[in-house]
Amino acid sequence: MVLEQVGIGIAVTGTGSAIPAVSLSNDGLSQIVETSDEWISSRTGIRHRRLAVPAESLAKLSAEAAKAAIATAHLTPMDIDLILLATSTPDDLFGTACLVQAELGATKAVAFDLTAACSGFVFGMVTAAQFIRAGAYQNVVLIGADVLSRWVDWSDRRTCVLFGDGAGAVVMQPNERDRLLGFELRSDGTQNHFLNLAFQPRPKELLRGTTVGQGTFHPITMNGQEVYRFAVRRVPEVIEKALFRANLTIADVDWLLLHQANQRILDAVGDRLKIPAEKVISNLAKYGNTSAASIPLALDEEVRQGKVKAGDTIVSAGFGAGLTWGATVFQWGR
């Protein structure tokens, strides 16, 4: 897992993002469930979230983010070899990445979905890196996108106040100098029940003795306190491991880019790692928790604002349903 030993270096050369136009404030939410701006902002840091209207698709949002990332990398869709779409809210359970490929006109690219909930982008970055290092693909678009508004129980104030919709993307390419310095990925299915969006089958008897399960997915259920505890304990561990593999220390970190779930989690992880608050990237006041989109969406904003600069060292960590969690250490640009 010390990536540089394998040979081909990796660079993250483009970023892009897309968000739905409709915004819902905490005050708006308090007309839907019994809550308040005070409760939501003090417990989570979230003030607004974007929501996809029914006509908006995950594929369209994803393609918009990918287009912007491809343009930043000075490529065209025809140059793309692989499209990886990290999502838990596909337009089509058979996969949405092919719809993104069609939307982009990236006819040369092979495209598939990857599901690891809010860790999807981090898991996707490591997956994309394997294809590049193996020499199989050169120009990879990795998208993190989710429309959790489709799957939130809008009568459950414990969850519906947290989530929003969005998409973010990066382009990854081979590079002489390796900019993906280390990673650590983890999973623990024994804690799946703390956060899930599970299929709920109803028995349907086809013939006597032949019954299948039919139905749909149950809206998100979550034990918020357990997920909070898990994140604050486990995320610093994987960050320290990824830094160790990269042969770096906390002092080398320019930016801590965590999955944007809760400001209190960002603060607690930053405190535990002794990373100063000004190095902790946060945009969740504007977008809430956008699941697989949150890391690339925040990265794109920081790059476009000129805060994250070429060569800056970023420690990125995702965590969430599965349970899954993981961290990557990379430097932006060639």
Which residues here bind ligand UT7, judged by CB under 6 A?
A: 35, 39-40, 43-44, 118, 157-158, 161, 222, 224-225, 227-228, 261-262, 289, 320
CB under 8 Å to 271, separation ≥6 — which residues?
A: none
Structure tokens at 211: 């019954």
Task: Tell me if residue 259 is catalytic.
Answer: yes
Q: Which residue, 96 or 294, is less far from ligand UT7 as judged by CB?
A: 294
What is the closest distance, in whole angstroms, from the C-beta atom of residue 261 to ligand UT7 in the complex?
Answer: 3
Whole-Å CA distances, 278 to 47, 145, 239, 253, 260: 20, 26, 18, 12, 15
Q: How far is the CB of 33 from ligand UT7 (least distance, A)?
A: 7
Q: Which residue out of 118, 139, 262, 283 is catalytically annotated?
A: 118
Residue 247 a catalytic site member: no
For residue 242, give the nearest of 156, 126, 130, 145 by alpha carbon: 126
**Which lies closer to ligand UT7 via its Cβ, residue 190 or residue 225?**
225
Give the whole-angstrom CA distance, residue 60 versus residue 204: 35
What does residue 329 show for φ and ψ, rounded to 5 degrees?
-115, 120
- In 28-139, DSSP assigns E strands to 48-51, 82-86, 110-114
Minimum distance between the CB of residue 118 and ligand UT7, rounded to whole angstroms? Answer: 4
Characterize the bridge pairing of strands 221-222 and 255-258. unpaired
Q: Which of 296, 316, 278 is nearest to 85 (CA)?
A: 296
Select 180 or 258, whichever has its Cβ closest to ligand UT7: 258
Spot the catalytic one: 98, 160, 259, 262: 259
Is 128 or 235 the residue whose CB approaches ligand UT7 more closely? 235
289 catalytic? Reply is yes
Q: Which residues are catalytic?
A: 118, 259, 289
